[in-house]
Chains A and B, each alone.
Chain A
């Protein structure tokens, strides 16, 4: 027998997931720190240098 609470639980879960996606999307949109951008530049430059040497 299906519980009368099941549709409410499903509704509750969707509401939570929807809010969660909004929070995660806001965090994804946060500006990438300069330290990470700089690190990537260094790593790419190192790789290029290694390739050029070969």
Chain B
């Protein structure tokens, strides 16, 4: 009986990997360069991947290491942002109580790289704090702190801490998070 080739699994993670690259770089050209490097490195080092472990985490780690290495080389924050969040918007901002996505994406652009990364890993990609910490090479507490700071900063930028801001979102939010039964 032959084991499945991990290279086949790699392909299934590419959409998430590219989303992570876009969220880190906020620039399509830079994200795609980074994707190519990551795929090449992963493919040629597949013998180092431990079958049975989390391949998505492994790929994300390679990609983020590429990102921070190139950022260090440039000795600056990635400044050539092309508003990838805003440009990916396909839904018009609504007024039904959900966050207006244009504002949310713009606010995301204002986070520090490390904070945005931590928030994406934990809040959007479904990694645990422990997994995210291992991927970023920091303590679990550091990731928790980055996530908390990122949420606080977003709240500040989106004025979510205003007294009436969340009141307006109650119905929609509760519907989304399922903490309230349906109303007839």
Contacts and interface: CB of A to CB of B under 8 A. Distances in A.
B121 to A, nearest CB: 10
Contact of A20 (B7, B14, B89, B123): B123
Q: For chain B, which range describes its interface: under 10, 10 to 19, 20 to 34, or 35 or more residues?
A: 35 or more
A22 B124 CA distance: 8
A39 B176 CA distance: 40
Contact of A26 (B36, B43, B89): B89
Question: SS class of chain A's interface: helix, strand, loop or mixed?
Answer: helix
Contacts of A27: 18-19, 22-23, 84, 88
A39 B43 CA distance: 11
Interface in A2-50: 8, 11-24, 26-30, 32-33, 35-36, 39-40, 43-44, 47
Given A23-B108, A28-B15, A17 B123 contact: yes
Contacts of A43: 7, 39-40, 43
Interface of B: 7, 11, 14-16, 18-19, 22-23, 32, 35-36, 39-40, 43, 84-85, 88-90, 98-99, 101, 104-105, 108, 119-120, 123-125, 151, 154-155, 160-161, 166, 169-170, 173, 176-177
Interface of A: 8, 11-24, 26-30, 32-33, 35-36, 39-40, 43-44, 47
Given A11-B170, A14-B176, A20-B120, 8 more contacts: A12-B161, A15-B98, A26-B89, A27-B22, A28-B15, A30-B15, A40-B11, A40-B39
